[in-house]
Each structure stands twice: as C-alpha cells, then as structure tokens.
C-alpha cells in the first residue's frame, strides 16, 4: 500500500503586511492611499459578515498587501482566521480573550461575551485611524488602560448614549467619569477631511449598536470618491 510521507501546503504570495507597510515609511508612503486600503479591507470584511463570520482579530498584521508593479498596490486581503467564529441570531456567548487590546472593541475590553459584527468594525476603525496617524490610536497594555484611553478620546459613555453599559462589567463605574467630554476629532486628525472624520466617528462609536456596518461604510461618501 502506497503511503505519502510529505504534505505540501501552497499559499498565495503577498509581498508584505499593512503593519510593515505603515512602519517602513522610508520604503512606502501610505499617505493618499488610505481610501484604497480601507475600501479593499472593508470589502473583504463585508463578505465575511455576509457569510456570518466574525474575524475577531483584525489588526494591521492580519491585512496582507501585494504589489502589482512596485510601488503600485495590487490587492489587499484579510488573513489569520484562527479565532474567527460563525454567528447566528440569537447571539450565543463567545470568548472575549482573543486579540490584542489595541484593536479590541470597548465591549470586549469590559468583558462582554455577547457581541456581533460591530467588534470587527471597531478594529477596522482603529486601523483606519492608524493609517492616518502612522501610529496606533490606542496603546494601553491592558483592558483598564485601554478603556481609559478610549474614554479620554471619545468621552465617557452614559446610559443615554450606550443603554446598558453599566451592567456589562463590575468595574465600569470606576472608569466612567461623566465629566469626561469627547475630544474634537478635527484636532486629533487634522489631515482627514470632513467625510473621513464622519466615517471614522461612525466606526468608533462607543455603543456597538450605533456603529456603522461594513456594507454601510463601503457606501459612505468618503469611500465613494
């Protein structure tokens, strides 16, 4: 009986990742190409969500870049679906321990185990912001630091702006200071036009039910140009 001793895995070749593309500014310049990167990545994400798949670990490392004819970009693709999950309403409890804090949605940082596609939109919003700033938007090393940074930028959530927020985790009342007001995104992102600021604010909406969907984002005026 013939046996096979070797297994060969053949993968599509991509030149680099978005992480390296942003970091190697002396080789690449992402300025002016943010729309292309975001449109391509959201197209892939919208397809995943249409198949009821949550990626759950979106970050620049998991977005691959290929060159058509250097430095022209060919394709952008999502990768690393190790912690991806399928979902069906009504939503079942899921783990919130995957991913790194910098790109995790606030509901995950608070410990929520019932979440949906909005967690991927938040991650993509953080990536969008990073392409503009050329550095991560949030850099806390743990959940508490991350939530503090998020609230300092976007303001403190309230029961009115995020119904049920105080019931998500036990320590949230110690983090929420009603006096914390959101910063002006125009000052935080001076190089982003009004349409881009509007899309970013809708992707980084604190309340998950208020976040824009991937399909809605693709139809946003910022990405229709």
Q: Which residues are catalytic?
A: 57
C-alpha to C-alpha distances, 1 to 4, 43, 89, nearest whole angstrom: 10, 47, 48
Task: Return the H-helix or E-strand segment holding 36.
Answer: helix 34-50
Nearest to 220 by CA among 193, 196, 192: 196
99, 83 Cβ separation under 8 angstroms: yes
106, 147 Cβ separation under 8 angstroms: yes
Q: How far apart are CA 47 and CA 51, in angstroms?
A: 6
Q: Find the radius of gyration of the CA atoms of the chain.
A: 19
> Tokens standing for 121?
């939109």
Burial of 193 (0-12, 13-18, 19+ CB in 10 A): exposed
Q: How far apart are CA 46 and CA 103, in angstroms?
A: 18
Helices 194-203 and 118-133, axial angle in degrees (round to 10): 140
């Amino acid at each position: 009986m013939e046996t096979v001793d070797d297994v060969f895995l053949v993968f599509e070749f991509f030149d680099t990742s978005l992480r390296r593309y942003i970091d190697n500014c002396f080789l690449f310049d992402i300025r002016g190409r943010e729309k292309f990167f975001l449109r391509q990545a959201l197209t892939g994400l919208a397809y995943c969500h249409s198949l009821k798949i949550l990626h759950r670990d979106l970050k620049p490392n998991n977005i691959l870049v290929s060159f058509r004819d250097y430095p022209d970009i060919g394709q952008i693709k999502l990768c690393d679906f190790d912690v991806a999950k399928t979902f069906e309403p009504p939503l079942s409890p899921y783990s919130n321990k995957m991913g790194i804090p910098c790109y995790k949605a606030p509901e995950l940082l608070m410990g929520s185990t019932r979440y949906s596609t909005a967690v991927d939109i938040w991650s993509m919003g953080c990536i969008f912001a990073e392409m503009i700033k050329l550095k991560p938007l949030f850099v806390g090393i743990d959940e508490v630091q991350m939530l503090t940074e998020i609230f300092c930028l976007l303001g403190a959530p309230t029961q009115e702006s995020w119904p049920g927020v105080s019931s998500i985790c036990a320590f949230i009342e110690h983090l929420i200071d009603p006096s914390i007001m959101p910063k002006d995104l125009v000052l935080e992102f001076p190089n982003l036009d009004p349409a881009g600021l509007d899309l970013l604010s809708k992707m980084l909406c604190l309340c998950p039910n208020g976040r824009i969907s991937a399909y809605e984002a693709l139809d946003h005026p910022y990405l229709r140009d």
